[in-house]
Amino acid sequence: MQRIPESELIINNRGAVYHLDLRPEELAHTIITVGDPDRVPAVSKHFDHIEHKRSHREFVTHTGVLGKKRLTVVSTGIGPDNIDIVLNELDALVNIDLLTRTIKPQLTQLNVIRVGTSGALQADVPTDSFVVSTHGLGIDNLLNFYRFEENEEEKQLLQSFITQTQLHQRISQPYICGGSAHLIKHFVNNFHHGITVTCPGFYGPQGRILRLGLSNPHLIDRLTQFTFGPHRITNFEMETSGIYGLGKLLGHHCLSISAIVANRVTKQFSKDSQATIEQLIKKTLDIINDW
């Protein structure tokens, strides 16, 4: 088995992967990702007990037990570039022998569930509701750096998306990946389902205008109006497509769940976003604990 060089997989002096500062025994196989490091204790406060706490840069990790389930919650920070770090290092912790720097012959499958915030792109997806992403549609280009290919239905959906939104290669080469049916089936009642678009930024890439003009000023309208058979775009944010795409390539089950804190069609913002996020955290943990 080919050895992975020190420059390609950085392991620190305590035998942990570099960015997450985690060792294999400090990671559970069911993982909740959050963007905000301060949201990690908001999740782990519901654990029966916490076994490990690690913190390095924006990556804060708590691993503990809830009921009969061992869980890890880790903050990713914002954006697909951070998702590239987090997904690759989570996979390395279970599927690469850090001592020999070789890929293990038997691979381990993780459950990775993003619990985050998002903006709705449909008038009937109100603030303070919850969205489960059936697909992550990336206009961030992350997966274009990997050997990734959509299935036939996804290729047709993607071509229709490019035609309808006029997002050409000067801006992005979009890609799409479905979420894990194995996980989605648990999150049905009281959840909206739809395509989530992942953007590489918060302002221009999400159609916000402050002092700068936009190259695609009709982006919001085109995303809202997009349809392909039963599919439509429900929301956008900055992580889902990277999680879905890398998770699929690495062989993990991934799911993204969003608390809607803004509706870009009705121009509304949640009156108590923290309460909505706390409600989603509790609901997600209850569902995980009942598996």
pLDDT in tens, 245-272: 999 999 999 999 999 999 999 999 999 9
Residue recorded with tokens 């569930």: 113
Identify the helix (H) or strand (E) that includes residue 56: strand 49-56
In a domain, 248, yes or no: yes
In a domain, 97, yes or no: yes
Distance CA 166, CA 248 (A): 27
Mean per-residue pLDDT for 192-212? Answer: 96
Mean per-residue pLDDT for 118-123? Answer: 98
Which CA distances in Å does 240 have to 51, 130, 173, 175, 289? 28, 15, 16, 12, 23
Domain count, the chain: 1
Task: Find out whether 129 and 260 touch, Cβ atoms under 8 Å.
Answer: yes
Residue 71 — very low, low, confident or very high, per pLDDT cuts 50/70/90? very high
Q: At 47, is the secondary structure helix, strand, or coil?
A: coil
Is the pLDDT at 1 greater than 90, yes or no?
no
Residue 17 — very low, low, confident or very high, per pLDDT cuts 50/70/90? very high
Q: Phi first, then psi: give them for residue 7, nearest 5 degrees.
A: -75, -20
Residue 167 — very low, low, confident or very high, per pLDDT cuts 50/70/90? confident
* pLDDT at residue 166, as a whole number: 86
Task: Kindly report the CATH number assigned to the domain that includes residue 218.
Answer: 3.40.50.1580
Mean per-residue pLDDT for 199-224? Answer: 95
Provide the 10 A C-beta neighbour count for residue 194: 19
* pLDDT at residue 171, as a whole number: 85
Distance CA 113, CA 111 (A): 7
In a domain, 96, yes or no: yes
* pLDDT at residue 52, as a whole number: 98
* pLDDT at residue 169, as a whole number: 72
**Exposed/middle/buried for 198, CB within 10 Å: 0-12, 13-18, 19+?**
buried
> Which tens digit of pLDDT belongs to each residue from 26-50?
999 999 999 999 999 999 999 999 9
Residue recorded with tokens 């890439």: 205
What is the pTM (predicted TM-score) of this model?
Answer: 0.97
For helices 80-95 and 240-250, what crossing angle results, to 10°? 30
In a domain, 9, yes or no: no
In a domain, 4, yes or no: no
* pLDDT at residue 170, as a whole number: 80
* pLDDT at residue 291, as a whole number: 87
Percent of the chain with pLDDT over 70: 100
> Which tens digit of pLDDT belongs to each residue from 125-163?
999 999 999 999 999 999 999 999 999 999 999 999 999
Residue 239 — very low, low, confident or very high, per pLDDT cuts 50/70/90? very high
In a domain, 11, yes or no: no
Residue ranges making up the domain that contains 285: 24-290
In a domain, 16, yes or no: no
Mean pLDDT of the chain: 96
In a domain, 12, yes or no: no
**Nearest 10 degrees: Cα torsion 84, 130, 186, 228:** -80
* pLDDT at residue 118, as a whole number: 98
